[in-house]
Structure 1
Amino acid sequence: MPVDRINTRTFTISVGIIFLLILTLCFYITKNLGERRPIFRLLTAVLVMNGLTHVLQAIYFTGYTPGVVTSVLLIFPYAYFVWKNNSIKGWILAKYLAAGFIIQIPLALGAVIAGTLIFQS
């Protein structure tokens, strides 16, 4: 799907889908954090890598893009806090970030496709 065919409604629905998915995972994780700590770390990595995508888009398009402010002001500091308090660094952090990068691509594309399908209905 070409980016120029995404309108405000489609984007809003897509972001809403991602928000609901993240919210659902957060509720799931909080039930028993000890066993689900890897899922929590992975979710944080997905958010960071998606945020990095927004920052790179802003650089590429040489201006503001949706999500860049949220990434810089909320997601990156939050992830730093999570990883610092959980002593996640080195290769372990690199593995989480690599997995987060891989997961965020189909998640974002799937949300946009779903948003487009819902909007067309």
Structure 2
Amino acid sequence: MSRRAVCLGLFAVWAVHDLEEVLTATWWSERTVPRLLAEGWPPGLVESIGSTTPRFALAAALVGVAVLAAAVQGARTDGESRFFRAALLVFGWHGAVHAAQAIALRDYVPGLVTAVVLVIPYSIWAWRRLRPAPVPGRVIAAVALAAIALTVAAQALARILLT
């Protein structure tokens, strides 16, 4: 498999992963938000994590633009782009966050299956396959913070537009 294909795999794996999240958003929210509130979790936090399939789909589409940009940049540079390499690391960590969320909530969270079966294994495999040079910590931190900010903004915009 070419290095370019490995890089474009970032978007493909992300798309499958987010499809799981989109398809389970409403079901999970309707099932889990009341349980967490009954267990005494802070209402503001619990209500902010609840979503619907349409809202999550819109937010995912917005985030998908950035993921596609990272994958294309990686393919164009044969995997050498610092932006792509940092995005690949952050994506792998994102998979680990799903596992941590499931442990904290003692239950399934949207995206858990593909995080464990695709996201984490793909990220490790792609990193090893590309054998990229180390990425400066400031670049990783910038991409991680940008990913968090973009995700929060996309969810907020989707909530506003699809109330």
How far the C-alpha of 1:73 sits from its partner, in A, is 0.9
Q: How many residues align?
A: 117
Aligned alpha-carbon RMSD (Å):
2.9
For the residue of structure 2 that corresponds to 1:74, the secondary structure is helix
Picking from 75, 78, 85, the partner of 1:41 is 85
Q: Deviation digits for residues 62-100 of structure 1, max 9, x if unmatched?
A: 1111111111111111111122223359xx479389525
Picking from 45, 51, 54, the partner of 2:95 is 51
How far the C-alpha of 1:117 sits from its partner, in A, is 2.9
**Structure of higher CA gyration radius:** 2
TM-score scaled by length of structure 1: 0.74
TM-score scaled by length of structure 2: 0.58
Picking from 129, 133, 155, the partner of 1:112 is 155
Q: Does the alignment pair 1:23 with 2:68?
A: yes
For the residue of structure 1 that corresponds to 2:107, the secondary structure is coil
Whether the 8 Å CA contact 1:58–1:64 is kept in 2: the answer is yes
Residues 81/93 of structure 1: CA separation in 2 closer, same or farther (3 Å cut): farther
Residues 74/14 of structure 1: CA separation in 2 closer, same or farther (3 Å cut): same
Whether the 8 Å CA contact 2:95–2:119 is kept in 1: the answer is yes
Distance in 1, Cα, partners of 2:136 & 2:118:
21
Identity percentage of aligned residues:
22
Residue aligning to 2:113: 69
Whether the 8 Å CA contact 1:48–1:76 is kept in 2: the answer is yes
Residues 64/93 of structure 1: CA separation in 2 closer, same or farther (3 Å cut): farther
Picking from 74, 91, 95, the partner of 2:137 is 95
Unaligned 5+ residue runs, structure 2? 1-43
